[in-house]
Structure 1
Amino acid sequence: GAALVQIPEGAPEAVTWLRGLFLAKLAMQMCKPAGRLSPEALEYCCRLLMQMVDSNGSLHLDRSSLSAAPRTLSLPFDLSRPSDDEWFSSADFKGMLLACTLDTIKMAANASVDCPAANEVLARARVAVDGIWGHTTRELAKVPETLRCRLEECSVALSTVSTASVSQRRPLLHSSKVKPPTVKTFNPKFENEFAKGRDYDPDRAKVEERQLKKELSREKRA
């Protein structure tokens, strides 16, 4: 998480963003078994999407130059490329980077299912995903079908988790309007004419049984 935060907002080298995405995905996968979310990883993915939308960003993505079916990133191989490799400035690389980023955000959404504040946690991610293409018919038509499906799946996952989080909330109530629970009390019974040695058990059969046992024990001792 600390390494992702230290990546500058406008990192000029695309390989730097790729390394950060590798760390973000690794952090999400490590948190997945515990059902937790890495906020630094989610924030980094949002920053990466913003760089693609920004026309002056180092990762600005031209929709018309995207390939129909970008391959999956091979992080060990791709990270070993030199930083000045022309492949990092190609549309294919940016398309693969976008697909991997959307998958990571979707993973973060699924990890936030049980989070009461999922709507607020995923707010920036929803803005980033919804703003990547504008969600207009003309702009979505320029997006390859593979990326369009991933974009829609990611957007649906974010909306579903956020809506479920809000629907489970209950309005706040003032303490004066809530009926306090009744405290159980114990009222001991007092006998005004208490006599030592007398059995006050209401079950007379048990009283007689105890008296017979006492008499029997006295006879045995005698």
Structure 2
Amino acid sequence: MFLRTLLMAATDKKQASELDSQFYHLMELKALRPLLHIRDGVDDINPLNILMVMEMPDDSSFFSSDNFRASALVTIIETLRGFVEIYDGLSSFPEMFLPIATLVLEISRQKHVPDAMKDKFNDVSQLIKEKAEETHTLRRPLQLRKQKPVPIKLVNPKFEENFVKGRDYDPDRERAERKKLRKLVNREAKGAVRELRKDNYFLYEVKQRDKELLEQERAAKYGKAIAFLQEQEHAFKSGQLGKGSGKRKR
């Protein structure tokens, strides 16, 4: 998407395909200006030195020159070639790169583009078309997977004459013995759990009984104390408290 936007900045008009693109709603595409469009002849084409460009001031005249535009376009087309080689094996390669190939071909046909740049642009455009055709030839229409239905395995039942319920008829005696021991262990384990549950229930009842006895004793002591206090209070109010203890000495 970024490379496509840069290439669109090298055209002097918007294509109809770009107007119908699903990305055209983005603000940077609507307000895009032909900043990389070559207007006059180019003296020299050199690879773009990113470090040198970063050190230049923003108002440098180099950014408005055709030499800068040509260097930027050469860097873009070489980067695009690298991406074409990287994503060559994708099944969606034609949908990704064919719109860019059309844009590259349009830029190569501009009037002031140098011949050396035209060759590079045409080579990349042709490379994209060839790889897209290869991908198209390898595509196959979707179809249901052909697979024979797997038949259900049928097993003839085996009947035992003089069958006895609970008896193990496994021909492997060791396996039958292991099953018997495992069954015995499970039965003993269940019995142990049952006995432990009974013991826990018995201990719980004993604790509850002791607790009830303790509560009854505490209630009896409390009742006696309340009765004594009430008796003392009644005697105090009736004036009988301390009566009959003898005459008071003068």
Whole-angstrom distance in 1 between the partners of 2:113 and 2:101:
19
Unaligned runs of 5+ in 2: 14-32, 163-168, 173-250
Q: In the alignment, what sits opposite 1:44?
A: 2
Larger radius of gyration: 2
Q: Is the Cα–Cα contact under 8 Å of residues 129 and 155 in structure 1 kept in the other structure?
A: yes
For the pair 1:86 / 2:61, whether they are aligned, the reply is yes
Q: What are the Cα deviations for residues 98-154 of structure 1, in whole angstroms up to 9, with x where unaligned?
A: 10010111122112212111111113211211111238xxx5xx6434323321221
Q: Which has the higher contact order (CA 8 A, sep 6+)?
A: 1
TM-score in terms of structure 1 length: 0.56
Q: In the alignment, what sits opposite 2:138?
A: 168
Whole-angstrom distance in 2 between the partners of 1:147 and 1:194:
95
Q: Is the Cα–Cα contact under 8 Å of residues 110 and 157 in structure 1 kept in the other structure?
A: no
Whole-angstrom distance in 1 between the partners of 2:153 and 2:47:
71
Which residue identity is paired with 1:45? L
Which residue identity is paired with 1:171? P
Which residue identity is paired with 1:188? V
Whole-angstrom distance in 2 between the partners of 1:198 and 1:58:
89
Q: In the alignment, what sits opposite 2:100?
A: 125
For the pair 1:150 / 2:120, whether they are aligned, the reply is yes
Aligned length: 147
Q: In the alignment, what sits opposite 2:72?
A: 97
Offset, 1:184: 4.9
Which residue identity is paired with 1:168? L
User: What CA RMSD, in Å, does the superposition of the two structures yield over aligned residues?
Assistant: 2.9
Q: Is the Cα–Cα contact under 8 Å of residues 36 and 73 in structure 2 kept in the other structure?
A: no
Unaligned runs of 5+ in 1: 1-42, 200-222
Whole-angstrom distance in 2 between the partners of 1:158 and 1:91:
27
Q: Is the Cα–Cα contact under 8 Å of residues 41 and 113 in structure 2 kept in the other structure?
A: no
Q: What are the Cα deviations for residues 48-97 of structure 1, in whole angstroms up to 9, with x where unaligned?
A: 122211166232213x5023x51111101112111111111112111111
Whole-angstrom distance in 2 between the partners of 1:191 and 1:57:
87
Q: Is the Cα–Cα contact under 8 Å of residues 52 and 59 in structure 1 kept in the other structure?
A: yes
